[in-house]
Structure 1
Amino acid sequence: MAAATEHALEAAEAACTLRGARLTELRREVLRLVLEAGQPVGAYALLDRLRAGRAGAAPPTVYRALDFLLEQGLIHKVERLNAFIACADAHDHAPHAGHGHAHPHQFFICGRCGDAAEIADASIAAAIAEAARRIGFRPRGATVEVEGLCAACAEAG
């Protein structure tokens, strides 16, 4: 996992540089913690982990870094869990109009183990866009979150 995390961090830094944004040491560290979590992680859990190496870290420190990472499309917020997860394919998508939701994404959240799987199904996004169009609604973004059991938990009974 360490090699995959390092590769993801390098890709994130390259993407930020390409966009004219700066992945500071702190932002990189918060992204690393999100990547290493492997599942949605809350801001205060990130703060606790960050304090291991930065004793003076405070909530605004983490929230500012998370806001940047969201804006750059490097992470997503899983609203149902009030937690953050690394974008499964952040390097393939650039953010737009200040929103980190540059591509359609949907989350399948396991209610037993807490794992969240991200997919990017354009047909789901198209259905939402069509429904919005029919009622004259102008969406700024949409995240679909489906709660249930992951395959491993369902198989375990």
Structure 2
Amino acid sequence: MSSSRHPYEPFLDFDRFFDDAFNARVNRVLTNAGDDDRPTSSVSANLALSAFKPRMDLHEDAERNTVTVLLELPGVKKEDVDVQVENGRLTVTAENKLPVEFEEAGYAVREIRYGHFLRSINLPRGVEAKDITASMEDGVLRLTFPRDIPSQVQDVQRVPIS
């Protein structure tokens, strides 16, 4: 689990370990949600449906000095997506809202994920919000930013020793 293996997501392997364990539990909750002999609470079913980390592809192009991130956000409207940069991390949050025309109690099968989505990645040193372009088409958010920012020359300042 070294950060050099996944510089954009240093805890990716750790996250996958817990995602696999959590997804196994979620699948059991959802699979058994309608079984009479194995009761499940609507609270745990709702929690399972609302917990979502969008799938991501991340591609580095050394020749063009770019990183392109693709995030799957099926059913999410562009205006419900927020992209922020803070402390060297890019964070995408979104919300897919449950259709209001259906009553909660009427679902026989409910597999579509609704709720808040979140994904964060580390940015290369020096990348700021102004360096990132974002577009969304067909439920896929595309973010592009520089792979490397040339280091800015800083004036050398001497510190006097007393």
* TM class by smaller structure: under 0.3
**TM-score, length-scaled by structure 1:** 0.25
Q: Which has the higher helix share?
A: 1
- Give the number of the structure whose alpha-carbon radius of gyration is greater: 2
Higher RCO (C-alpha under 8 Å, 6+ residues apart): 2
**TM-score, length-scaled by structure 2:** 0.24
Q: Which has the higher strand share?
A: 2
